[in-house]
Structure 1
Amino acid sequence: MGILQAAKTVQRGFKKASSVCEKLGVSISIAYGIIVFLLVFSGVLLRTGFTLQTYAGIRIVRPFAWSEELARWFLVGLAVISASVAFKRKEHVGIELIVEQFPLKLKRTVAVITDLMILFFMVVCLNSSYTVALQAARQTGDVIPISMLWVKMNIPLGFAFMIVHALSDMISQFFPEESV
């Protein structure tokens, strides 16, 4: 009874953490998407207006020099954080197609092995991206004088979310809710 109770507690903890990571990921993705849209849209409008003003010989508004760089930074964050949400919801192209080809007795074993390989890959990516982000702490943007650490930390954050989702899913496979 003690092991099952511990497994139930761990499962609930990871399930809750995964849910929190998903909600955070969705919120961050929505915010980043809106910011990217506004930056790109305003950049296009201002460039078009600037071009028209140049033809008319008037100088009222100049385009933002930093809008492209900032939009690119948020777009990278949007891609990685949204990937974690897609991973949680199982909306990525998966290996299930291959796993389904195995006989019933081997499916679970192959699924566990692939899950472990994916988890290992995500841990390596988390470690590597975190190291790269720390190395970029002294770098700044070409136009915006902000440390690239803040830009590049989106990547390890996305992988950390994916690891939480993967662990939650793996624990749920080993200890289905009915048996725990």
Structure 2
Amino acid sequence: MKLLGLLSDICEKVAIAVAALLLVAVFCLVFGGVVLRMTGHNFSMSEELSRWGLVSICFMGASAALKQKMHVAVNMLVDLLPLSVGKIVVTISYVLVFVLLVYSTGYSWKAAMGAEGMTGDIVPMSMMWVKLSLPIGMGMMIVHLVHGFLKIYSSPDIDTIRIGT
């Protein structure tokens, strides 16, 4: 359990660091592209690179948000239930999200590996590297889910075990 908690913490820190670096890079690309256009120059790669960066930010940031329980949820019903019944409902939600993530991770991994020979429209880089942010982000979410799932029945309250707030 401690090893899984440590792995979850490391995944969170990596996701936050990668998302922050990508955010700075996307800002610089977009801002630089605007400045260059105003001066009569064109940096055609800025749009494609910033689009790829935004996709990666979404999936890396989503994994950190899952760890921090910052995903949107409607918890009014769970809050009204007795603790034992609420834990059953939370367990069901964890299992459903886990199944969806495993399914999505598998297919996004397959899509990323299938895109190995494809390149971007403007940037001559393999699309595999761009698409890998999806299964990596979802894989980190799976780690957070398993870690949270193992704490459901030992938790004294419902607030600490819900997926979102």
> What do the CA deviations read for 1:100-149 (whole angstroms, capped 9, x no partner)?
24344311111111111111111111111111111111110000110000
**Partner secondary structure for residue 133 of structure 1:** helix
Residues 56-99 of structure 1: CA deviation (Å, up to 9, x unaligned): xxxxxx21111110111111001110011111100001253332
State TM-score, norm by structure 2.
0.89
**Equivalent residue for 1:4?**
none
Q: Which residue of 2 aligns with 1:17?
A: 7
- 2:69 counterpart SS class: coil
- The structure with the larger Rg is 1
CA contact (8 A) 2:30 2:47 kept: yes
Query: Where does residue 50 of structure 2 map in the other structure?
Result: 71
TM superposition outliers: structure 1 runs of 4+ over 4 Å: none
Partners of 1:37 and 1:130 in 2: CA distance? 28
RMSD: 1.5
CA distance in 2, matches of 1:128, 1:98: 33
Gaps of 5+ in 1: 1-10, 51-61
Amino acid at match of 2:95: L
Which letter maps to 2:138? Answer: F
Structure 1 length normalisation: TM-score? 0.82
Residue of 69, 80, 103 corresponding to 2:59: 80
The number of residue pairs the alignment matches comes to: 156
Residue number in structure 1 paired with 2:163: none
Which residue of the partner structure matches residue 170 of structure 1?
Answer: 149
- Structure 1 124/146 Cα, relative in aligned 2: closer, same or farther at 3 Å? same
Percent of pairs with identical residues: 34
